[in-house]
């Protein structure tokens, strides 16, 4: 057994442990156990500094999870966009491929609770059908391995999947979506990255939510991946009490760049059964984005996205930078709230190539302005 597997074995998971260690009411702990089991491995546990801190909130079951049985279990309609088991095909050229229902830790905010936790939730018998589907659909050039956490598979099993995918010539890139560098960095071993680098181009997308998750261990895991030539992106979920604060997010994204991880998406938390207590108003996300762009390296600025309910996919949202626009000009504001009139190419100029004098625009001031959706923290 490898170290990371021992740490999974030694995770806190039982009702008794939840009652003893975290003071949960036994009845509540029993209900939570049925709803979505706990797995807090010794590494992630060691990151908790005090009860209710951002690490605790992500990992320790909470009574609030039981309060909203009305919300959808599958908010993104992943299951209805699944042509064969284990595959979600929502976008033209790429698919999500669920390879396991296990994770290194069970995140209390997970939107895939229906798929994750108990090993019967994703069947390995579906693998062959999934490979056949990808083989038959020549438009698929990007396969995103997901789950659960694909790095819960053994190196041997993972290699079987990768080599099979690589035998399909139209598959150009393979992405691995994994939270292991964050929740159990011991999984990223030299042996694993050596194997992965045989199947390039491989990308990893990981999932840091808070600066305290950037430790010597997680930094080392990312260093191993990056040194193997694997670009690492990060997806953060915006969550109340965890990271709904521009300073926390700024620190997180700056520190991620230092360990060669590029912020990719900042997600609005989806309406999901058992996880709605984490949700924040959309404007909280927009305000955070406003405090990133221009203030810190553009490399550290991800897309803020909402996942459209019912399977519409990810939609990016931006703070309001455009104050006015017509055929002749656009009026914009920068990160310091200074406004600028920018002369546009008029339609007839675009057609004829005859360029007019721009000077008047630099002298004019905007006469119309749209409300800026910002500074809404007045309360
Ligand atoms: C997020 C997602 C992808 C990948 O989307 P990118 O924007 O290319 O990162 C693919 N399929 C599904 C179903 C997804 O939810
Ligand atoms: S690692 Fe991902 S899939 Fe697994 S419990 Fe956490 S959020 Fe859900």
| pLDDT tens digits, 120-146 | 666 667 799 999 999 999 999 999 999
Spatial distance between the Cα atoms of 78 and 116, rounded to a whole number of angstroms: 14
Query: For 154, phi and psi rounded to 5 degrees?
Result: -70, 160
Tokens of 349: 């100029």
Residue 112 beta carbon below 6 angstroms from any ligand 2 atom: yes
Smallest-distance ligand from the CA of 146:
2
Higher pLDDT, 259 or 373: 259
The per-residue pLDDT for 38 is 96
Spatial distance between the Cα atoms of 3 and 7, rounded to a whole number of angstroms: 6
Smallest-distance ligand from the CA of 205:
1
From the CA of 90, give the closest atom in ligand 1: 13
Query: For 110, phi and psi rounded to 5 degrees?
Result: -55, 135
pLDDT at 295 over 80: yes
Q: CB burial class (10 A; 0-12, 13-18, 19+) of residue 74?
A: middle
Domain extents in the chain: 79-317, 322-369
Spatial distance between the Cα atoms of 300 and 89, rounded to a whole number of angstroms: 29
Are residues 114 and 121 in contact, defined by beta-carbon separation less than 8 angstroms? yes
Fold of 79-317: TIM Barrel (3.20.20)
The per-residue pLDDT for 121 is 63
Instruction: Place 113 in a pLDDT band, splitting at 50, 70 and 90.
Output: confident
Q: What angle do CA 212, 215, 221 make, to 5 degrees?
A: 130
pLDDT at 73 over 80: no
Provide residues with CB under 6 Å of ligand 1.
88, 90-91, 94, 96, 144, 314
Q: How many CB atoms lie under 10 A from the CB of residue 108? A: 23
Beta bridge partners of 236: 266
Q: How many CB atoms lie under 10 A from the CB of residue 284? A: 18
Residue 148 beta carbon below 6 angstroms from any ligand 2 atom: yes
Give Cα separations from 340 to 42, 330, 355 (angstroms): 53, 8, 21
Q: CB burial class (10 A; 0-12, 13-18, 19+) of residue 188?
A: buried
Strands 173-177 and 202-206: parallel
Q: How far apart are the first and last CA of the chain?
A: 54
Higher pLDDT, 192 or 70: 192
229 C-alpha to ligand 2 centroid (Å): 25
Nearest CA to ligand 2 atom 7: 110
Nearest CA to ligand 2 atom 8: 110
From the CA of 88, give the closest atom in ligand 1: 13
């Amino acid at each position: 057994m490898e170290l990371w597997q021992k740490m999974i074995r030694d995770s806190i998971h039982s009702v008794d442990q939840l009652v003893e260690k975290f003071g949960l009411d036994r009845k509540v702990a029993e209900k939570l156990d049925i709803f979505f089991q706990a797995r807090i491995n010794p590494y992630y546990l060691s990151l908790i500094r005090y009860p209710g801190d951002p690490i605790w909130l992500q990992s320790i079951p909470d009574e609030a999870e039981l309060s909203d049985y009305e919300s959808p279990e599958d908010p993104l309609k992943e299951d209805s966009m699944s042509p064969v088991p284990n595959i979600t095909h929502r976008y033209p050229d790429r698919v999500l491929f669920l390879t396991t229902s296990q994770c290194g830790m069970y995140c209390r905010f997970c939107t895939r609770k229906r798929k994750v936790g108990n090993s019967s939730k994703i069947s390995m018998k579906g693998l062959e059908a999934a490979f056949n589907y990808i083989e038959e659909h020549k438009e698929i050039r990007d396969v995103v391995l997901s789950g659960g956490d694909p790095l819960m598979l053994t190196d041997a099993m993972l290699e079987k999947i990768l080599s099979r995918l690589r035998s399909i010539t139209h598959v150009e890139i393979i992405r691995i979506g994994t939270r292991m560098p964050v929740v159990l960095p011991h999984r990223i071993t030299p042996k694993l990255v050596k194997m992965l680098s045989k199947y390039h181009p491989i990308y990893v997308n990981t999932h840091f939510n808070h600066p305290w998750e950037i430790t010597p261990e997680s930094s080392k895991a990312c260093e191993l991946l990056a040194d193997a030539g694997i670009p690492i992106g990060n997806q953060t979920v915006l969550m109340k009490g965890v990271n709904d604060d521009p300073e926390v997010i700024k620190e997180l994204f700056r520190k991620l760049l230092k360990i060669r991880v590029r912020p990719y998406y900042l997600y609005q938390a989806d309406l999901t059964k058992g996880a709605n207590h984490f949700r924040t108003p959309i404007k909280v996300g927009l305000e955070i984005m406003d405090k990133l762009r221009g203030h810190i390296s553009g490399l550290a600025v991800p897309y803020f996205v909402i996942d459209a309910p019912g399977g519409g996919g990810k939609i990016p949202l931006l703070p309001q930078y455009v104050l006015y626009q017509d055929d002749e000009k656009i009026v914009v504001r920068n990160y310091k709230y200074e406004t600028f009139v920018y002369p546009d190419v008029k339609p007839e100029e675009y057609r004829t190539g005859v360029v007019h004098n721009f000077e008047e625009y630099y002298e004019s001031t905007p006469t119309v302005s749209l409300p800026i959706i910002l500074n809404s923290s007045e309360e």
